Amino acid sequence: MKQNTTSKSARKLGKSGSGKKKGLPPGSLVHIGQVKTDSTTIELIEYDQKSIVTKSSVSLAEASKHLETPQTTWIKVTGLQDTNIIGELGKAYQMHPLLIEDILNTGQRPKVELMEDYIFLTMKTLGLSANNTVVSDQISFVLRKNVLISFHESELSLFEPLKERMRLETSRLRTHGVDYLFYALIDIVVDNYFEVIEAMAEIMDDIEDKLYGDSDDKILEQIQHIKKELLFVKKAVFPLREALNTLIKIETTLIDQQQIRYLSDVYDHIMQIYETVENYRDLNAGLKDMYLSILSNRMNKVMQVLTIIATIFIPLTFIAGIYGMNFEFMPELHWKYAYPVVWLIMIGTAFVMLRMFRKNKWL
Give the global pTM: 0.80
Domain with residue 61: its CATH number is 3.30.460.20
- pLDDT for res 304: 84
Considering the domain boundaries, does residue 252 fall inside one? yes
Residue 245 belongs to domain spanning: 25-294
* Strand-by-strand arrangement of the 147-152 sheet: 52-55, 41-47, 72-78, 147-152, 134-144, 119-128, 111-114
Q: What is the three-state SS of 120-171? A: EEEEEEEEECCCCCEEEEEEEEEEECCEEEEEECCCCHHHHHHHHHHCCCCC
322 and 182: one domain?
no
306 and 188: one domain?
no
Averages of pLDDT over each 10 residues, the chain, 363 residues: 47 60 70 87 90 89 83 92 91 91 90 91 90 90 93 88 86 88 94 92 87 74 89 91 90 86 93 93 89 82 86 87 79 81 88 85 74
- pLDDT for res 298: 80
Task: Specify whether the CB–CB gap between 287 and 211 falls below 8 A.
Answer: yes
Considering the domain boundaries, does residue 8 fall inside one? no
214 and 308: one domain?
no
Tally of CB atoms within 10 A around 333: 11
pLDDT tens per residue across span 49-68: 888 899 988 898 888 888 77
Task: Specify whether the CB–CB gap between 37 and 81 falls below 8 A.
Answer: yes
- pLDDT for res 20: 65
Q: Is 302 exposed, middle or buried (0-12, 13-18, 19+ CB in 10 A)?
A: exposed
74 and 95: one domain?
yes
